Structure 1
Amino acid sequence: MTWPESVLVGAAAVLALAAAVAGRYRAMAVPVAGAGVLAATTAATALGGPRWQWVPVAAGAALAVATALVLRRAARRHGRSEGERRVARLPEWTATVVALGLVAAGALAMWALPPVDFPPPSGGHAVGTTTVEWTDRGRGETWTEDPDDHRTVVAQLWYPAEPGTGTEGAPYLGRTEDEARVITGGIADGFGLPGFLLSDAARARTRAAVEAEPARSGEPFPVVVFSPGLGGVRGQNTAWAQELASHGYVVAALDHPYDSAAVVLDDGTVLRGRLTVPHGPQEEERLVPEWTSIRAEDMSLALTRLMEMDADAGGPFADRLDPGRVVAAGHSFGGSAALHAAAGDHRFTAVIDLDGFPHEADALDFPQPLLVLVAGAGTGDADGDARYAEAVTGALAAAGGPSCALTVEGAAHLSFTDAPLYLPPVPAIVGSAGRTRPLTTTADASLAFLDAALRDPAARPGGALASFGATECVP
């Protein structure tokens, strides 16, 4: 809740109470509190624009004013017994209680669903961002019946940038605010929620500059190709991507058409997600391998296109990407896809799995070091926790380089995304570590692992990760 919103709530609460007090006090309090409501609303609008959370507060204030204007005569009538006067004032007190309830509901909504405020990246680089679209002409789109429809992915890049270039405050979750509303609408639909609940995310701004010039000094940058969770979107880990970019990494986060909640192509076409969580082990065994394969090929396509950008002598990323330091990363289902992408494409030199169940990882053979971040809150099911722990151990054994699983206490599944910034602080949803600490932990642990894995293949990352939580490392 911002400070003008705090003033708005306080003034509206005073207004609700003042409407029911004795005449002369009401005559003084109502205009003052009303003026406070108007001033706070004006200031809040100037700072961040109107929000739906203000609606119940405004309704409570309006009810209080109506109560003061319409029913005050009944409260001032004389010649009645004390009991009669109390009965006459019952409508005012009832309206006051309702008004206070509305104000409280609005205050709770403001606290639970605050404006999205990304923490400033801590690295030494400014951060730029751009969005690109890549089509694989050699691969048909399996989700449509059109033989001429080829697989296309949309990628957003975050990268070290020259300070002062580009347009500051890139929109979150879309190239424009209109696109962001389409994306948040798709996310809300996937959860069965009304779209307005994510309106703050749709209008949020990041810490990156749009189309900024890539930094030209220093050695070429390591590359991270990121796949979001099932139904997830390319921008869901923006805080993590910006932090890595500020420390010298180029992060390419992907939208997977018909998997991501909604994907907007360059021509404005909207592709809605069609996947749902598999029901039961049999459906999971049948569908997950196919979905994983599609994602893994998307990640390899992204890497190929990135290397073409590095080789393009006239392009902004010419000679700025390091083909010898490339990371496959993902959250949830995307983390599993990253493992399979690395196993099938040895151009990837390290893997990060952010709380993703490593499906069939024990049957893979990949030479890269691996980091798995595990939510300390678990899956919510003892059998599920046991299956997950066994699968993670199998993934560590399958990795060819020094690898670790890090259990982050206080973290839930969505703690490893931007969700703590704008979803209600319910521990089962976003963990119990607050709104910004999970983002810092995820990024810092990723950087500690990558700095070891990419700069020294023989390094043991366990020591660097120990401060973040319990670790299980091999060898």
Structure 2
Amino acid sequence: MTTRPLFRLPRPSGPCAVGTVTHHWVDTNRPDVFTADPDDRRELVVQIWYPATRPASATPAPYVPDAAVLAPLAKLLGLPSFVLRCLKHVSTNAVASAPAACDEPSFPVLIFSPGRSGYRQHNTWQVEELVSRGYVVAAIDHPHAAAGVRFPDGRLVTIDSRMVDNDFVETVVPFLAQDAVFALDRLTALNHADPTGILTGRLDLSRVGIFGLSLGGAVAAEACRQESRFRACLPMDVWMPSSVVRSGLSQPTMWITRDAGTMQREGWSQADIDRTITTIRAVFDTMPGDAYLVQVPGMYHQDFSDAPLLSPLTRWLGLTGPIDKHRAHDIVTACSLAFFNRHLKDRRAAFDGLAERCPEVLLETA
């Protein structure tokens, strides 16, 4: 059995090619709560993917330019470190700094927040599909919550050891949600005047959504509680923060998760299962407007990410579930596109045919 990823991202099915750029942004108004120095300001690395015109001689952008930052993630997943180091050899379907597509004057914007000890690219298959259908997606590397974040000056910030403590995580979710709000502020400035000229005037900031996986889904929900500019919320396979349970959400929200039986088969503790299901249900049941609860039996937690593509070891180690990896991809992209198309592109028929395309999905609406 090979441990090399031999990994190709699925080619996006939409009409747009994909471009990408990466930014380093510093929030000069906000101290970094993860560090002891009160003078440390919060810094982010944010990668933006956007609908593009693909140059004829384009070279695909790398999946993870610096795979060394993923060592903490390999340890968490129980994988040999060299498995994830091989990701530096993987190419994406995106082209760095490609010209933006010209078929639309501007595009709706989505912010993506990754999981605890994750990395900004770990849902690239989902991101590229959304971009190929006419969305701009900005993915945040949250320093101290991500596996590792490399800044342009060479500094490497790895995950804070306190992030293994769920009580500590709950306390920092509001701070991580402020990363998303700050990123939206920076995207607004970029739309006004992009130094590269690529995205100036191309971001429709009246149509903004946010999605996230695992911890990133909790961050997405909290960001929507804090900031009304987010008009649609898509948390995937995660508990809801206590602040969101107390106040609820006003934006249209779709949760994508799975049933308790699948969580049990994956090996989740009963406490984690109860926390996830009861907090999602508590918010879903009090939604004042459009809400969708999607359960996909047979999907494990890592099946919501690129993990099934990385190596055969993920199935062997029980990290991915019995569902076919391509089927998992099709279901998540179909549901996320239907949701964002309805609530950010006003396509009222976006859910038509979804039940036929995804008959194994259990869908509740409110």
Q: Contact 1:257–1:272 at 8 Å: present in 2 too?
A: yes
Q: What one-letter code is carried by the residue in structure 2 that aligns with 1:369?
A: P
Q: Contact 1:402–1:460 at 8 Å: present in 2 too?
A: no
Matches within 5 A, 1:376-391: 376=259, 377-379=262-264, 380-382=268-270, 384-391=272-279
* Equivalent position to 2:104, from 218, 221, 232: 218
C-alpha spacing 1:400/1:349, structure 2 compared with 1 (3 Å): farther
What is the alpha-carbon distance in structure 1 between the residues aligned to residue 301 and residue 57 of structure 2? 34
* Equivalent position to 1:335, from 205, 217, 222: 217
C-alpha spacing 1:124/1:331, structure 2 compared with 1 (3 Å): same
C-alpha spacing 1:384/1:290, structure 2 compared with 1 (3 Å): closer
In structure 1, the partner of 2:341 is 451
Shift of 1:277: 5.3
Structure with the higher fraction of residues in strand conformation? 2
Shift of 1:345: 0.4
Structure with the higher fraction of residues in helix conformation? 1
C-alpha spacing 1:353/1:461, structure 2 compared with 1 (3 Å): farther
What is the alpha-carbon distance in structure 1 between the residues aligned to residue 127 and residue 205 of structure 2? 19
Q: Contact 2:338–2:351 at 8 Å: present in 1 too?
A: no
What is the alpha-carbon distance in structure 1 between the residues aligned to residue 333 and residue 71 of structure 2? 27
Matches within 5 A, 1:361-380: 361-376=244-259, 377-379=262-264, 380=268
Q: Contact 1:166–1:209 at 8 Å: present in 2 too?
A: no
Shift of 1:427: 8.2
In structure 2, the partner of 1:88 is none
Shift of 1:463: 5.3
What is the alpha-carbon distance in structure 1 between the residues aligned to residue 46 and residue 286 of structure 2? 29
- Compare relative contact order (CA 8 Å, sep 6+) and give the higher one, 1 or 2: 2
* Equivalent position to 1:351, from 226, 233, 242: 233
What is the alpha-carbon distance in structure 2 between the residues aligned to residue 165 and residue 268 of structure 1? 32
Q: Contact 2:335–2:354 at 8 Å: present in 1 too?
A: yes
* Equivalent position to 2:35, from 144, 149, 152: 144
In structure 1, the partner of 2:186 is 305
* Equivalent position to 1:240, from 126, 144, 162: 126
> Aligned pair 1:472/2:353, yes or no?
no
Q: What one-letter code is carried by the residue in structure 1 that aligns with 2:258?
A: A
In structure 2, the partner of 1:269 is 155
Moved more, 432-441 or 300-309: 432-441
Number of residue equivalences: 354
Structure 2 unmatched runs, 5+: none
C-alpha spacing 1:393/1:351, structure 2 compared with 1 (3 Å): same
Q: What one-letter code is carried by the residue in structure 1 that aligns with 2:55?
A: G
What is the alpha-carbon distance in structure 2 between the residues aligned to residue 370 and residue 460 of structure 1? 17
What is the alpha-carbon distance in structure 2 between the residues aligned to residue 140 and residue 396 of structure 1? 34
Q: Secondary structure at the match of 2:256?
A: strand
What is the alpha-carbon distance in structure 2 between the residues aligned to residue 331 and residue 359 of structure 1? 14
In structure 2, the partner of 1:230 is 116
Q: Contact 2:16–2:131 at 8 Å: present in 1 too?
A: yes
**Aligned-CA RMSD value:** 2.2
In structure 1, the partner of 2:45 is 154
What is the alpha-carbon distance in structure 2 between the residues aligned to residue 387 and residue 135 of structure 1? 34
Percent identical pairs in the alignment equals 32
TM normalised by structure 2 equals: 0.90
In structure 2, the partner of 1:134 is 25
Give CA-to-partner distance per residue, 1:55-103, whole Å, 9 cap, x none.
xxxxxxxxxxxxxxxxxxxxxxxxxxxxxxxxxxxxxxxxxxxxxxxxx
In structure 1, the partner of 2:59 is 168
Q: Contact 1:184–1:198 at 8 Å: present in 2 too?
A: yes
Moved more, 354-363 or 308-317: 308-317
C-alpha spacing 1:261/1:114, structure 2 compared with 1 (3 Å): closer
In structure 2, the partner of 1:29 is none
Matches within 5 A, 1:25-424: 108-109=1-2, 114-164=5-55, 167-174=58-65, 179-180=66-67, 182-191=68-77, 193-275=79-161, 278-279=164-165, 284-285=166-167, 287-312=168-193, 315-360=197-242, 361-376=244-259, 377-379=262-264, 380-382=268-270, 384-423=272-311, 424=313
Moved more, 132-141 or 390-399: 390-399
Q: Secondary structure at the match of 1:271?
A: strand
Structure 1 unmatched runs, 5+: 1-107
C-alpha spacing 1:275/1:195, structure 2 compared with 1 (3 Å): same
In structure 1, the partner of 2:324 is 434
C-alpha spacing 1:224/1:434, structure 2 compared with 1 (3 Å): same
